[in-house]
Every structure is written in structure tokens, then in C-alpha cells.
Amino acid sequence: VVSVAWETEGLQTLGIVVIVCASVKLLHLLGLINFTEDSIDDEQEQSMVRHRPEALEKLEAQTRFSKKELQILYRGFKNECPSGVVNEETFKSIYSQFFPQGDASRYAHFLFNAFDTDHNGSVSFEDFVLGLSTLLRGSVQEKLNWAFNLYDINKDGYITKDEMLDIMRAIYSMMGRCTYPVLKDDAPRQHVEMFFQKMDKNKDGVVTIEEFLDCCQKDENIMRSMQLFENVI
């Protein structure tokens, strides 16, 4: 009798184990628990966006580059981005390579937004070349306009102190740690104060485009430095 009792107990153990396994499997089927950790890699399918730029003649008309210059620009562009568009990550990585000592990703972010005029998250060759055309072949007014656009993060027509502080911090972070003299923490803030003192004529705490243009055109240093990169291409 004792052995029979123990045998039923053994069978009971077996039954319990079977029920536990079955319920675990059921929960897995229902997706409530995951056995494998790496089931998310299916979602990251890279969608190959292929973008073909407009015809060479149209671009030549829209920008101030010659055909040959456009050819050279496109070859370099396509070499680095075979799919024809630059997304923000690639843009950041490319720009960061020029500033190995510091962190250029924040400034690259602002730059990306400045180039991505239609705000679709990627910079195509047209955006790229239009931006370059303004920067390299545009009039001083256009260049200053572009710079204002860069600083005005939310594109509302006013540069606030906070926006300027962001930009300044981004620029200073490209310097990195090892500088001479040693970079103080409030250096960006001081720089912003100086900037606003110079630019904000009516002291209302924001800089408008007119104030900006006005002030820059009066400053000789700025005007001279605007011509610095004339012959880059």
C-alpha cells in the first residue's frame, strides 16, 4: 500500500511538471514572455532609400556652381553616401571626423537642420548643393541670412538667449577638453552675453534679423571673415 501511495505521488510530480511546461509554452505563444532576447533584430531592416538628384542642368541653373564643380561635388557626395541622401547619423559621423578632439555631434545636429531646408530628416544632394551655393557663392546678405537661420533653432525669426546658449555650447564642445587657456564652464555663457550686448540694440532679450544684419554689416571683422571661404571649391 505504501508503495502504491508513493507511486501515485510520483505520477503527481510528473503531472505537475507537464502542466508547468505547457503553461510556459502557452504564455510564450501569447507573446507575454520572451525566451530569446534577440527577437528585435528583425525590425531593424534597413530600408534602402535611393534618391536620384535632379538633372545637372537644373541644378546648374538653381545654384551658382558650374557643371564641373557640380560633378566634383556629386562624386564626393555619392562616394560617402551611396544611397544619395544623408541622414543625421551619417552627417554627424562625417562632421565629427574633422574635429577629433571634441564632440562635434551637437553642432552637427544644428548644421543638419540648417541644411535640411524641407525638414524631412535627410539631406539630399540638392539641399546640400543649395546650401553650399549660398555659403560659397552667395552675397554677404545671403550668408548672414543663412547664419541667422542656423542660430534660430525654432525658426521663429528671433534668436533668444537660450537658443544662442545652445549653439555656443555646441561650438565650444567641439574644442574638447585640452585647450589653452583652460576652458571654463561659463565661457559659453559669457560669450553669449557678449554677443547679445553687441547685437541686441533694443535690449529686448531677443535678436531679430534686422538687428543681426545691421550689426554684422557694421562690424569689419565679420565682413572680412565672410569672404574667407570664397575659393573653397
Partner 1 sequence: MAAGVAAWLPFARAAAIGWMPVANCPMPVAPRDHGKRQDELIILNVSGRRFQTWRTTLDRYPDTLLGSSEKEFFYNEETKEYFFDRDPDAFRSILNFYRTGKLHYPRHECISAYDEELAFFGIIPEIIGDCCYEEYKDRKRENAERLMDDQEENKDNKLPNMNFRETMWRAFENPHTSTMALVFYYVTGFFIAISVITNVVETVPCGSTPNQKDVPCGERYTVAFFCMDTACVMIFTVEYLMRLFAAPSRYRFMRSVMSIIDVVAILPYYIGLVMTNNEDVSGAFVTLRVFRVFRIFKFSRHSQGLRILGYTLKSCASELGFLLFSLTMAIIIFATVMFYAEKGSSSSKFTSIPASFWYTIVTMTTLGYGDMVPKTIAGKIFGSICSLSGVLVIALPVPVIVSNFSRIYHQNQRADKRRAQKKARLARIRVVKTGMSSAFLHNKRNGLFNELLELPCSEEVEQHLSKTASLLESQHHHLLHCLEKTTAHEFVDEQLYEQNCREGAVQSYPSCSPSLSSQEGPTGTCCTHQARKNPLPDASVPPTCQGALQELSAVHIQCSDQPALSTSRSSLNMKLDDTSRLNCKSGLITTAIISIPTPPAVSPEGDSQPLTSPSMQTIASSNAVKVSTL
Residue 83 near residue 51, CB atoms below 8 Å: yes
Residue 213 near residue 201, CB atoms below 8 Å: no
The DSSP secondary structure of 51-74, one letter per residue, reads --PPPHHHHHHHSS--HHHHHHHH
Site string for partner 1, 11-30 (x = CB under 8 A): x-xx----------------
3-state secondary structure 95-142: HHCCCCCCCCHHHHHHHHHHHCCCCCCEEEHHHHHHHHHHHHHCCHHH
Map the footprint of partner 1 across residues 116-155, applying CB under 8 A: 128, 131-132, 135-136, 143-144, 146-147, 150-151
Find the part of the chain contacting partner 1 (CB under 8 A) among 45-53, 55-63, 166-174, 179-187: 166-174
Question: Is residue 64 close enough to count as binding partner 1 by CB under 8 A?
Answer: no
Residue with cell 534602402: 48
Among 95, 103, 176, 183, binds partner 1 (CB under 8 A): 95
Which residue, 31 or 100, is less far from partner 1 as judged by CB?
100
Question: Is residue 196 close enough to count as binding partner 1 by CB under 8 A?
Answer: no
- Grid cell, residue 67, equals 557643371
- Grid cell, residue 82, equals 551611396
Binding site for partner 1 (CB under 8 A): 2-3, 5-7, 9-11, 13-14, 68, 72-73, 75-77, 79-80, 94-95, 97-98, 111, 114, 128, 131-132, 135-136, 143-144, 146-147, 150-151, 167-168, 171, 191, 194-195, 212, 216, 221-222, 224-226, 228-229, 231-233
